[in-house]
Amino acid sequence: MRAVVAKQAGRDGRDGRSVEFAEVGVPEPRSGEVLVKVDAYSVNRGETFQLENPPPDWRPGKDVAGLVVQAAADGSGPAVGQRVVAHPPAGGWAEYVAVPTDALARLPEQVSTARAAALPLAGITALRLLRAAGSLAGRRLLLTGASGGVGHYLVELAAAAGALVTAVTSSAERGARLAELGAASVVHRVEDAPGPFDLVLESTGGADLPLALARLAPRGELIWFGQASRKPVELDFFSFFAGPVSATVRHFSYADGDQPYAADLETLVRLVAEGRLHPEIGRVEDWSRTAEVLDDLRERRVRGNAVLTLS
């Protein structure tokens, strides 16, 4: 089968052409896995970073949607012919991928595979992040890096839960969309966010994190879930005394131990089917253009998610 693979070591992967097509063997599912014929997959900016220094024998691809063509040998999971959205550990940018049955969800007729492919990584991150934040009703929430795939889901879900969301995005166009999704306020720099905020969800790192931290209310909480700027953070302990008294700073990772993904995927699919969650897909292309899309994603030329289709 054909698959998108990381280029061999020694070849420049920083110009957007960090991947190429190759012929690889069709995966053989283990007992608790199904074989999925991939119809669409989503690419994430974090994967562009991994491609700069890929592990040996690793193939990218964690967000896929398609058709089950081989059921799990242990009888778990969907039957052959069922459309699914899935979050395999790797290898999803290919014609076929083996997926654990606890990392997928069935798709109803009204949810297309292109929309579903944009759900797994960004959607699961948003769900679990808000779950970690606790009750949101009436809380003042600051979200940095709001115009990415995770940010769009966070704004819509948090606003629906009753939070007063201030979203930070550098683009007026993207800000208008975030307002449509429920953001009470949109600013273009963290410095422009008035505060104080009960909760900060911070994903950019660098200079933005201390600026966001300073806008916390007393005993507020900052949850740090990304570093899109790829710049280190420097914090001055004494600045806490002039602002966020007794603030909490917490690290978050969506891969929460051994917690399966199936239940969260089912929730995301249900919300989309009910019209309560809207995947923000800024780019849909044939998978032959994966390298170009990766370049655009790396350079922030894509709003929300980018989806590649194999049809």
* pLDDT tens column, 105-151: 999 999 999 999 999 999 999 999 999 999 999 999 999 999 889 99
Question: What is the residue whose two structure tokens read 């280029």?
Answer: 7
C-alpha angle 100-102-106 in degrees, rounded to nearest 5: 95
Does position 47 have pLDDT exceeding 90, yes or no? no
Distance, CA of 303 to CA of 170 (rounded, Å): 11
b/e per residue 69-88 (b: at least 16 CB within 10 A):
ebbbeeeebbeeebbbbbbb
Average confidence (pLDDT) over 216-242:
86
Distance, CA of 7 to CA of 148 (rounded, Å): 26
**Strands (E) located in 71-181:** 83-86, 96-100, 104-106, 140-143, 164-168
Using 50, 70 and 90 to split pLDDT, how confident is the model at 15? very low
Q: Tens of pLDDT along 120-130?
A: 999 999 999 99
Across the chain, mean pLDDT equals: 92
Q: What is the pLDDT of residue 8?
A: 63
N-term to C-term CA, the chain: 15
In the chain the domains, ranked by start, together with CATH numbers, are 2-119+279-309 (3.90.180.10), 123-251 (3.40.50.720)
Using 50, 70 and 90 to split pLDDT, how confident is the model at 17? low
| Number of other residues whose CB lies within 10 A of the CB of residue 294 | 26
Q: What share of the chain is helix, strand, coil (3-state, %, to 5)?
A: 30, 30, 45
Q: Tens of pLDDT along 167-225?
A: 999 888 889 999 999 999 999 999 999 989 999 999 999 999 999 999 999 999 999 99
Q: What is the pLDDT of residue 16?
A: 45
